[in-house]
A and B are shown apart, each in its own frame.
Chain A
Amino acid sequence: MRLYAAFIYLFLYAPIALIVLFSFNAGRHAASFECCSTAWYPRTFQNTFLIEALTNSLIVAGTVATLATVMGTMAALALQRVRGPVRVAFDVLTYIAIIIPGIVIGIATLVALVAAFDALNPLIAALWPGGPEGAPRLNLGYGSVIAAHTLFTMALVIVIVRARIQGMDQSLIEASADLYATPWGTFRQVTFPQILPAVLAGFLLSFTFSFDDFIIAFFVAGSKTTLPIYIFSSIRRGITPETNVIATVVLGFSLTLLIAAQVLMRRRARGAGGGGAAP
């Protein structure tokens, strides 16, 4: 049984370990390893196209995660008070947003945005005070990727935060009100600390999803290149150890983020507990 488990972990993590190892390749091919050099690291970071793609991805993922977390948490809190058919309708819509394949979201968002832009751009041009020449044109770019990603990740946040709210003892809310806390005071001092782990989890998941999404971004990014799109196109040109370096850096970044979140949450718990005299 233990051997079986070991094999599963080997299957899961060996490729990841391998890609880290291969990022220290001395040779010129991504898949054949010659020991050992860090030469590809500086070379990778001097690649301005890559750096731009990475920056784009970070901007998009950061915005998406923030928007999705704020709106998703608010939606989850509001839905908690809704009962009956309205609640069922929202539940169904939330789950649909999650189970719809990314490619459908991509195409649908693309078609909808292009149709909307085609309708709106002449209107803006006609109404623009400085004449049609100087009028701004709505176009695919940051905004469209962020909108499409937020649509999906907000549903994720709603589901995660709702589960936490439902698991929460409702009498805590009543106890807080009973102890003179205003509704806002109750949210700030009881509800939010209780759902904070779920909110953080929702943020991290949204960030990760947006950061590594290829399909949706491929459709709606327009002229912008995100990191997954860049890697995909560089593979078509032939893989170099540069790709391994990118993967390793992204991996390191994700792990750092996760560990930081863990440490932060643990310190919070300990800090709040150490307020009084120890018995």
Chain B
Amino acid sequence: MGQTGERGIDVQTQATSDFDIEFRGVTKRFGAVTAVQSMDLQVARGGFFSFLGPSGCGKTTSLRMIAGFEQPSEGDVLIEGRSVVGTPAHRRPVNMVFQHYALFPHLDVFDNVAYGLRQRRPRPDRDTIRRQVGEALELVRLSGFEGRRSWELSGGQQQRVALARALVNRPTVLLLDEPLAALDRKLRRDMQIELQTLQRDVGITFVLVTHDQEEALSMSDTICIMRDGRIVQMGGARELYDEPANAYVADFVGKSNFIAGTARAGGGLRDPHGRGFGGRRPAGGRALGEGEKAVLAVRPETVAILPDGAASGGFDVALAGRIRNRIFLGEHTEYLVAVEGIGDMLALVPKLAEEERGSFGEGQAVTIAWNDRSALVLGDD
């Protein structure tokens, strides 16, 4: 049973669930549009969880249903094992960092951070508020900025005020809606590390929404990939990268070369020209039947480029191609190779390999090679 706690928020007297957040068959419709389709989900306590997907996949709607800004059309949303359907946002023990921070422009940094504390009943005394706000600002390294207004702060500083304003309330779950989207690249990298460190320090469950795969991969313990209101795959960064459930995930998480064709009963894939390719199924994937539509996915960093006519060097697959384009990216070079009967394939050649085998010029005939164990046979769904 829940009871009303000191802040006037419904809190649990005892945690009745190992999951901070649970979705049970949640569907959300906006008129004729279904944003989220019968979704089941569990977010473990104390982890860093991410919703990843393109815009319109339902990830933001899912987050807003946790926050209480939207109510599900069907199904149940649970926070700490207790249904919160019908509970308004101001009575939920979660706090959110908004995409554009939503700092109150008529209040300074101190009053912004103190806002949540001042809503508690009974209201904490001045010294308590001052101390807790001070601690929160110290946590995000903004001590001394108490008197500033939001427009006097840089994007990164506003971001950190928004974090402090949410964390000062010690929520069960911190929700982050594309929190880094408005920052420039360098700052985004720094904030990724900072967010991850912060999450470990405070031990609060973080739920992040993002369309940026790099952001999700670098920070999260668990990533939930969504498409068209449904969960496509859920798992750790490594699992999603190495064992993508289908072509959509393989394409969305990292880069992949795809060769379309049909599955072979004995494993591997046959392309439209009748050529056979070896490849394995991702862990946990069902076996594909003979002739079923499938793609062969090969990560560009597992593709090697050899001089034309050289020995295949022990690779399982070796195909003739021609360099179409090369992009020097510092730590590695990206080659686009036109391969007959397949199309363009991407190969990432690290500096070390380039030093050993030499680099290749545009228009040069080459051999492109990979091993069967690097190739995945994926369903088209």
Q: Which residues of A contact B (CB under 8 A)?
A: 169, 171-172, 174-183, 185-186, 189-190, 193-194, 269, 272-279
Interface of B is mostly: loop
Q: Distance (Å) between the CB of B3 and the closest chain A CB?
A: 16
Q: List 30 A-B contacts (CB under 8 A).
A: A171-B99, A172-B105, A174-B69, A174-B98, A174-B102, A175-B103, A176-B115, A177-B69, A177-B88, A178-B95, A178-B96, A179-B95, A179-B116, A179-B165, A179-B169, A180-B8, A180-B91, A189-B115, A272-B108, A273-B108, A273-B147, A275-B110, A275-B111, A276-B111, A276-B146, A276-B147, A277-B146, A278-B147, A279-B145, A279-B147
A residues near B104, Cβ cutoff 8 Å = 172, 175-176, 190
Q: Is the pair A172, B102 in contact by a Cβ cutoff of 8 Å? A: yes
Q: Is the pair A276, B90 in contact by a Cβ cutoff of 8 Å? A: no
B residues near A183, Cβ cutoff 8 Å = 90
A residues near B188, Cβ cutoff 8 Å = none
Q: Which residue of B has the minimal Cβ distance to A175?
A: B102
> Max chain A CB contacts within 10 Å: which of B102, B103, B145?
B102
Q: Distance (Å) between the CB of A213 and the closest chain B CB?
A: 34
How many angstroms from the CA of A179 to the CA of B88 in the assembled complex? Answer: 12
A residues near B247, Cβ cutoff 8 Å = none
Contact A193 B106, CB 8 Å, known A179-B115, A277-B146: yes
Select which of B67, B146, B149 is within 8 A of A178 by beta carbon: B67
Select which of A174, A182, A194, A278 is within 8 A of B106 by beta carbon: A194
Q: Which residue of A has the minimal Cβ distance to B165?
A: A179
Select which of B144, B165, B169 is within 8 A of A279 by beta carbon: B144
How many pairs of A and B residues are in contact by the CB < 8 Å rule?
96
How many angstroms from the CA of A272 to the CA of B120 in the assembled complex? Answer: 21
Q: Distance (Å) between the CB of A202 and the closest chain B CB?
A: 18
Contact A185 B119, CB 8 Å, known A177-B89, A179-B95: yes
B residues near A186, Cβ cutoff 8 Å = 90
Q: Which 3 A-B pairs have the closest CB atoms?
A: A276-B146, A276-B110, A276-B147
A residues near B166, Cβ cutoff 8 Å = 178-179
Q: Is the pair A180, B108 in contact by a Cβ cutoff of 8 Å? A: no
Select which of B91, B106, B169 is within 8 A of A272 by beta carbon: B106
Map CB proximity to A onto B248-285 as digits: 1 under 8 Å, 0 otherwise. Answer: 00000000000000000000000000000000000000
> Max chain B CB contacts within 10 Å: which of A169, A175, A185?
A175
A residues near B103, Cβ cutoff 8 Å = 175
Q: Is the pair A175, B120 in contact by a Cβ cutoff of 8 Å? A: no
How many angstroms from the CA of A106 to the CA of B165 in the assembled complex? Answer: 54
Q: How large is the interface on B (under 10, 10 to 19, 20 to 34, 35 or more residues)?
A: 35 or more
Q: Which residues of B contact A (CB under 8 A)?
A: 7-9, 67-69, 88-91, 94-96, 98-100, 102-111, 115-116, 119-120, 144-149, 165-166, 169
Q: Which residue of B has the minimal Cβ distance to A168?
A: B105
Q: Is the pair B119, A277 in contact by a Cβ cutoff of 8 Å? A: no
B residues near A176, Cβ cutoff 8 Å = 104, 115
Q: A169-B102, A272-B107 are in contact. List 5 more A-B contacts (CB 8 A).
A: A174-B89, A177-B69, A178-B89, A180-B91, A272-B108
Select which of B7, B9, B96 is within 8 A of A175 by beta carbon: B96
Select which of A172, A182, A275 is within 8 A of B147 by beta carbon: A275
Q: Distance (Å) between the CB of A170 and the closest chain B CB?
A: 9
A residues near B69, Cβ cutoff 8 Å = 174, 177
Q: Is the pair A180, B102 in contact by a Cβ cutoff of 8 Å? A: no
Contact A272 B111, CB 8 Å, known A174-B69, A174-B102, A180-B169: yes
How many angstroms from the CA of A174 to the CA of B105 in the assembled complex? Answer: 14
Select which of B7, B107, B145 is within 8 A of A180 by beta carbon: B7
How many angstroms from the CA of A275 to the CA of B108 in the assembled complex? Answer: 8
Q: Distance (Å) between the CB of B146 and the closest chain A CB?
A: 3
How many angstroms from the CA of A162 to the CA of B334 in the assembled complex? Answer: 54
